[in-house]
A and B are shown apart, each in its own frame.
Chain A
Amino acid sequence: MLHLTKGRVGCLLSRRVVLALTNRGARMSSHDHHEVSDKVDMSQPMYWDRLDTPLPDRPWKDVLDSTDKSLKQKEKGPWTALSKEEKIALYRLKFNHTYPEMKRPSHEWKTVIGGMFIVFGITGLVVLWQCHYVYPPQPHTFGEEWQAKQVQRMLDMQINPIEGFSAQWDYKNKQWK
């Protein structure tokens, strides 16, 4: 038997959509679904709502009650005799979503952006903790006094006097240019 676990079909967020897609119209359980988890029998014709494949292998509603059956009978006659509601009903028997319904925007982006920010936040907390608990004390050469002495030493040595460090120091007036 060819089985496709619903978990593998579609991503985490669209599991409900997949469930709806593979649900046999009237929730009639077909032969061998005795497993607890829902599995799609891949050896049977499937229904799908796809923009690029308009006509799926089977109709949405397989199991027709008597009203549906009589409507299907009427469909065999001239379609001019059908009312708008009947035409819509016939469409809904065969198809689940219309094209605009297939193309409706989802709210998934909010979940994605929200999730991203949550992850950034957690990462931020981890970084803060790490700065406090993991990093060793700063070397003494980072201190204010040492840095000042270092700068003075560099100027005394005339580091990069043409275009670099010492070039920015006005030696006459003893200040930065």
Chain B
Amino acid sequence: MTHASVFRGSHKCTTMRSNSRPCGQTTPLASRCYSHAKVETDEEFDARWVTYFSKPDIDAWELKKGMNTLIGYDLVPEPKILDSALRACRRLNDLASAIRILEAVKDKSGPHKDIYPYLIQELQPTLIELGISTPEDLGMDKL
């Protein structure tokens, strides 16, 4: 199934799953040297965010800050990050924010209508376990 990093914005990587090279171009003739800073891989990015939301004593501010920052990125978060965030909402006894997060990622998908159903499919076990209804279940996806 599609990896959510596929939907990263174009500025982040030269190709979707390229290894970081010292120089950006493939042909030595046209080689340009970008910064030699280490580029974070998709897995590292995902792991970092999962860890962030997995903090057992996460507080409401950290949840807000994390979600707002994550939504600010040019990508749709992986299901595992969202799973971690939804569990953080559970620890904070905040159902409304959990539903809001689902709305937000649906909006982030933009014109790609197949991302959100995929996310919900992947999150289904968590949604059932925690008792989170999707906006569609509650009829909140209509005006």
Tell me what chain B mostly uses at the interface: helix, strand, loop, or mixed: helix
Does A120 lie at the interface of the complex (its beta carbon under 8 Å from any beta carbon of B)? no
**B-binding segment of A48-56, A125-133, A154-162:** A48-56
CB-CB < 8 A to B99: which residues of A?
A: 87, 91
CB-CB < 8 A to A76: which residues of B?
A: 93
A75 touches B137 (CB 8 A): no
Chain A interface: which size bin? 20 to 34
A104 touches B143 (CB 8 A): yes
Q: Given the complex of chains A and B, what is the CA–CA distance between A104 and B48 in angstroms?
A: 35
A94 touches B96 (CB 8 A): yes
CB-CB < 8 A to B141: which residues of A?
A: 98, 100
Q: Which of the residues A59, A84, A94, A98 comes within 8 Å of B133, measured between beta carbons?
A: A84
B68 touches A55 (CB 8 A): yes
Q: Which of the residues B100, B137, B138 comes within 8 Å of A54, measured between beta carbons?
A: B100
A54 touches B101 (CB 8 A): yes
CB-CB < 8 A to B95: which residues of A?
A: 75, 79, 82, 87, 90-91
Q: Given the complex of chains A and B, what is the CA–CA distance between A57 and B67 in angstroms?
A: 12
Whole-angstrom distance between the Cβ of A175 and the nearest chain B Cβ: 63
| Interface 1/0 per residue, B96-115 and A, CB below 8 Å | 11011101101100000000
B131 touches A53 (CB 8 A): no
CB-CB < 8 A to A78: which residues of B?
A: 131
Q: Given the complex of chains A and B, what is the CA–CA distance between A56 and B63 in angstroms?
A: 11
Given the known inter-chain contacts A54-B71, A55-B67, A88-B140, please indicate yes or no for A99 contacting B96, CB distance below 8 A: no
B93 touches A75 (CB 8 A): yes
Which of B99, B137, B141 has the most C-beta atoms of chain A within 10 angstroms of its own C-beta?
A: B99
Q: Given the complex of chains A and B, what is the CA–CA distance between A103 and B108 in angstroms?
A: 13
Whole-angstrom distance between the Cβ of A31 and the nearest chain B Cβ: 23
A91 touches B138 (CB 8 A): yes
Whole-angstrom distance between the Cβ of B131 and the nearest chain A Cβ: 3
Q: Given the complex of chains A and B, what is the CA–CA distance between A166 and B93 in angstroms?
A: 91
For this complex, 9 residue pairs linking A to B, each with C-beta atoms less than 8 Å apart, are A51-B107, A55-B63, A78-B131, A79-B132, A95-B100, A98-B140, A99-B135, A100-B140, A104-B143
Q: Which 4 A-B pairs have the closest CB atoms?
A: A79-B131, A80-B131, A94-B96, A54-B104
Chain A residues with CB under 8 Å of chain B are 51-57, 59, 75-76, 78-82, 84, 87-88, 90-91, 93-95, 98-101, 103-104
